[in-house]
Amino acid sequence: MTFTQIIMIITYLLFASALDGTLYVATAVLGMCYGFQLLTMVPTVSELFGLKHFGIIFNFMSLGNPLGALLFSGVLAGFAYDSEAAKQHGSSCLGPNCFRLTFIVLASMCAMGTVLSVVLTKRIKPVYEMLYAGGSFRLPQSSNH
């Protein structure tokens, strides 16, 4: 998950820079990163928090996408677009500056997610080392090798 967050930072910065020929590649890479995040989120949460309250936790995980879309696509992108359009003295905005602020904020959020992911990895590592110290916990341990 940390690796995909780093890739997402680079991708958002590519969007913000508006380099020629990067739109399609960056969109495909960003879609794959989102897919991987959604794919790994469910087993990670079930391992960390267990299955007792998984239904409630899953509902909160499901709220992430619509809440992020509202905050970043609706509020932040709308504000950035309107302020850039006002700077251009018109009702519409032209050029890469229209959404640059949005992509920089999204890259910053991914950077914060990367830091939090590293902190979580460091904090949870002793638990996994203790859990898997004797090999697989599903297979019975035998003294005959």
Residue range 23-49, pLDDT digits in tens: 999 999 999 999 999 899 888 888 888
pLDDT score recorded for residue 130: 79
- The mean pLDDT of 71-77, rounded to a whole number, is 94
With bands split at pLDDT 50, 70 and 90, how would you rate the model's confidence at 76?
very high
Least confident piece of the model among 7-16, 124-133, 135-144: 135-144
Whole-model pTM: value is: 0.84
More confident residue, 42 or 127: 42
Residue 108 pLDDT greater than 90, yes or no: yes
Whole-angstrom Cα Rg for the chain:
21
Closest-CA residue to 37 (of 14, 18, 11, 17) = 11
Report the b/e string of 92-128 with b at 16+ CB within 10 A. Answer: ebeeebbbbbbbebbbebbeebbeebeeeeeeeeeee
Other CB atoms closer than 10 Å to residue 29's CB: what's the count? Answer: 17
Q: Which two tokens stand for residue 119?
A: 């902190």
Q: Is the pLDDT of residue 145 over 60?
A: no
Distance from chain centroid for Cα 82: 26
In the structure, what pLDDT confidence band is assigned to residue 143 with cuts at 50, 70 and 90? Answer: low
